[in-house]
């Protein structure tokens, strides 16, 4: 299955992609994770990306497209993948259309106030990449691997509002783009826990329990 997970920051795309990745045995391709790794390793791509990410802006299309193009060539992508956070602009989607045929696009919907609450309370494990809301953490260690969790710089309140604006302007038009293609499946995440959303994801994708 070749899937796209679409939706505002904080809707839980990454968490859902990790669950589905284990169940379907296909990789989760998170352009955000790839870019953050490039920044940590101070690669040329990382140096370009850092300023954009810290400000809550999108990294230029050509940079992200090059990353995805390379990643899709890897062997583990043969049986499918979940694109988590890509495409994020119409030009990115148009290029993707020339590379692959996507089976389905899952659109995770969530009202702005819930997004703000989730993002400002989000903590991430720098070692295993798991994300948690502070309300579900006991202290500041990752329940998965014991590493100290951190707050992403772009989850700080001033940047969160900018990311939401960027989402509305640049990414939300993809909802109509994929609706017109007939590949959009909507999951309403409002007030739902991870497990409830995951049940919905499986349902809209026609994956049996
Ligand atoms: P994420 O972890 O998906 O929220 O991504 C974090 C940040 O990485 C975003 O706010 C963007 O700055 C950048 N980014 C991730 N994916 C893309 C993309 N497809 N296009 C442009 N920028 C991206």
d(CA 168, CA 141): 33
Task: Give me ligand 1 centre to Cα 33, in Å.
Answer: 8
SS3 185: strand
Comparing C-alpha atoms, which of 83, 98, 107, 103 is closest to residue 4?
83
Residue 7 beta carbon below 6 angstroms from any ligand 1 atom: no
Q: Measured in angstroms, how far is the CA atom of residue 104 from the centroid of ligand 1?
A: 20
Distance from residue 9's CA to the centre of ligand 1 (Å): 9
| Alpha-carbon gap, residue 13 to 194, rounded angstroms | 10
DSSP β-bridge partners for residue 84: 5, 30
Is 86 a pocket residue for ligand 1 (Cβ < 6 Å)?
Answer: yes
CB 74 within 8 A of CB 126: no
Tens-of-pLDDT digits for all 209 residues of the chain?
999 999 999 899 999 999 999 999 999 999 999 999 999 999 999 999 999 999 999 999 999 999 999 999 999 999 999 999 999 999 999 999 999 999 999 999 999 999 999 999 999 999 998 889 999 899 999 999 999 999 998 999 889 999 999 999 999 999 999 999 999 999 999 989 899 999 999 999 999 76
Cβ of 85 closer than 6 Å to ligand 1, yes or no, is: yes
């Amino acid at each position: 299955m070749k899937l796209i997970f679409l939706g505002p920051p904080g809707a839980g795309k990454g968490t859902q992609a990790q669950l589905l990745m284990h169940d379907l045995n296909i990789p989760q391709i998170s352009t955000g994770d790839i870019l953050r790794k490039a920044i940590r390793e101070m690669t040329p791509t990382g140096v370009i990306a850092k300023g954009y990410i810290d400000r809550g802006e999108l990294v230029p299309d050509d940079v992200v497209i090059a990353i995805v193009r390379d990643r899709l060539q890897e062997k583990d992508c043969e049986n499918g993948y979940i694109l988590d956070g890509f495409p994020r602009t119409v030009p990115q989607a148009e290029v993707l259309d020339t590379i692959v045929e996507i089976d389905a696009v899952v659109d995770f919907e969530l009202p702005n106030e819930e997004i703000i609450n989730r993002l400002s309370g989000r903590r991430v494990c720098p070692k295993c990449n798991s994300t948690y809301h502070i309300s579900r953490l006991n202290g500041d260690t990752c329940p998965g691997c014991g590493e100290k969790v951190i707050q992403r710089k772009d989850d700080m309140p001033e940047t969160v509002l900018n990311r939401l604006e960027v989402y509305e302007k640049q990414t939300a038009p993809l909802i109509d783009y994929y609706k017109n293609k007939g590949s959009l499946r909507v999951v309403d995440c409002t007030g739902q826990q991870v497990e409830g959303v995951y049940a919905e994801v499986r349902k809209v994708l026609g994956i049996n329990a």
